[in-house]
Structure 1
Amino acid sequence: MKPYFLLPLLLAATAPALAQKPAKLKYTADDPKHIYDAVEQPAVPKGGPAGYADYLATHQKYPTAAMKANQEGTVLVTFVVERSGSIGEVEVQKPVAPLLDAEAIRVIKSAPKWTPAHNHGQTVRQRVTVPVSFVLAEGSGEVVEVPAAGSTVAAKPLPPGAVAAAPGTTSVIGTTASGTNIIRPEKSAQPVGGNAAFFSWIAANQKYPDLARKRHIQGKVPVEFTVQPDGSLADVRVVQKHGSGLDEEAVRLIKAAPKWEPALYQGKPIKQKMTLPVLFQL
């Protein structure tokens, strides 16, 4: 930087009439339509990178046809985090297979908003690339038939570590992104007394958080949990956070709720992952 300042000083010493004040440097306003690849403060997913990875893993739906074809791999997806935090211009940068590519785009589009990027003190658009992995465990793609009641046909044993998914009588064994086996049960888990009784219990035992009441915040907090083989509810977590104490109260309610009737496979109870909304209304 020194040569830029020496020249005006020399000119001032030899020819005072030519000396001028240096112009002030200032940033020009960023073009609101410009998409940045690199910024001073990058866009961040709600819940941070770890929370976002967990969201992608738990909301990914492995296409059945892709399982049968033993298709797996990592799909690189690029998208733009808009100045509002919403996701746009989603496309596959590195395709793997049509069905996996389409699912990767779907799960990215359905994800919560991001905290937008900032550059030179302004909120800007940023292009982001995220890998979405599809991994098959041993035995994936196998079709399992659940025999009808009273049938003499021998049923195949439930795979180790299997987690029940949607109800049905025929299933293709698949996996989540973390490698957990998924299989459909004969009977899905349900609250004792039905959903109406369960939501009535939630309403009767709910303690509306003072902070949320003061801020007039209300809404539906989606909560994910696992119904264990003994009917107890475990692994409780909020899928999309609302803040102001609503998330903590939703988790407390589910943990304190009465036991459910567990999912059944081959007449035996198995665990099943569920997602239900906890309503907060003033």
Structure 2
Amino acid sequence: MSHLNEILLTNIFLILIWLAYEFLFSRQRLFQANRIFLVSGSAIAVILPWLPWQIQLGSFSAPVITIPMAMDPLPLADPGIVAQSGMITASTQSVNWLSILYWSIAGFLALVSIAQLVRLRIWARRGKALYQNGLKIVPLNKPWSAFSFFRTIYFPAPFDPHSAETLLILKHEEVHCRQLHSLDNILMLIIRILFFYNPVVYLLTSRIRLVHEYIADEETAGTDKAEYSHTLIRHQFLVPGLLLMHSFNKKSLLKRRLSMLFKNKQTRNAGWNYLLALPVISLMILISGWSATAQDQAKKSKEEIAKMAVEKELTKAGFSKADIDEIKIRIDGKMVEKALMPIDLKYNGEDVFTVVKDMPKFQNGTIEDYRNWIQKNVEYPADAKTKKIQGTVYITFIVDTKGQVVQPEIIRSVDPILDQEVMRALKTSPAWTPGMQKGKPVNVAFAMPIKFILHGNTTQKLKEPEEENPEEAAAMINNYNDSQIQKGKQAFQIVEEMPVFQGGGIKEFAKWAQASVKYPSIAMENGIHGTVYVSFLVTKEGKVEDVEIARKIDPSLDAEVLKVIRSSPDWTPGLQRGNPVNVAFNIPIKFKMQ
């Protein structure tokens, strides 16, 4: 997922903080206030765009709770033929050289910073350290000005602890150590590494360092500002380019430090100027919240566009309107992105798709024509009729780039006798016209349930219920497991006879839940909305148990969903091979403000 919007906002906010400081506060002598504004403002500028919150603009009307009539976002079904939803695109992705370049530079800068920390550590351990006022003083045999990092002061040799000038410099560095200016430097170093391409970051870093020196100068100079200024001038030595240290004197900052040192004190009312920071921060909050809201709306628009594309292509592929509506309902949030990818399956080293622009055609017809061909060619084995074996065999197969039916596989077996008959029929399948994606033939996978049902002395194959629910026909293409273990209980997702709720299926339960769920008042007041995904188990006794939130939105919405689902009336349990079994469900419940 791209975070271009957050990155752009962060850079804009950093520029805004720098402009506010330069034009409003840089000439003020309230140095601690300037430090707080620069450091906290920079941190807010970086963090604010990434916070998961929105500002709701416009008016609200009555809340609406929408529960899509869908069971689980994974399996999808055409009557008799099952395919995953979505417009499928090629999986090949170009290398993102810009991202590689960015992380290479950022990684290099991080390594350089780590190397400098190691260098300071080596100097501190190898040098003959002295201790004074709880600080560690490390003499260095280098022609540099003194500098500090946290509670360690690095002083150029020779170190004379009795010299008045030495004591003055130590007092200056002690201010940096005591006020933890190194923490500010570390924060700005992280920002510099992440946003190295933004020149304003370097300007902010320079201003924070300058404010640190103002603070130390003011406290160290006392009343004898002339003597202190002479000391600054005498120490115009070269300073190592260490990003984290505080140097007693840096030539590029000397003129400003001397100018601020002799500047008159601020008036009592000068502090009121910092109230101007409030509209600056408020503007950043407003822009960030508005941008998050705009992104959410854009995401919803993208989902709608994806649904329209899916509807268009599935119509071409011969899907009925009811099945297309079912597929569109299932496309939600990340499911759109997932739908735009090939499935995790390869054939002859090439991607396998489930829905493509031009679906494979069987004898110039649609999927329904192939289904009719299967119905005519699958025979009910005599041994199965004698033994009264019946049930639904789920199969998968691939129509390859040459139109051949390849890799037929039983993904849910009933009995070897029925399985063999299904495999026999598939292996005799005539060729298809292959599916096309971007003008090229591609592999397309299908899944199909084949029902063998005994009715007295007659038999029927592929019998369809009058209104077949997706859960009664769906099967996963990728090696679907017959059952799963959920909290120590064997649970199925699809069984021969799905659980019944008040005479209906999952749609009837959705209607009941929609009537029972109430929009929490606290969520309404705070404009909280979204889709809560809840999973539960209908046990072999027909009880609803193991209710859990699979995807959370807000504690108030989550609690309301849990309360309602747990209060569900009893179901008629699902049956597998004539025996009641546990069946797992997963439904989305959408809370929407309108």
Larger Rg: 2
Structure richer in helix, relative to its length: 2
Q: TM-score with structure 2 length normalisation?
A: 0.24
Structure richer in strand, relative to its length: 1
Identify which of structures 1 and 2 has the higher relative contact order when contacts are C-alpha pairs closer than 8 Å and 6+ apart. Answer: 2
Q: TM-score with structure 1 length normalisation?
A: 0.46
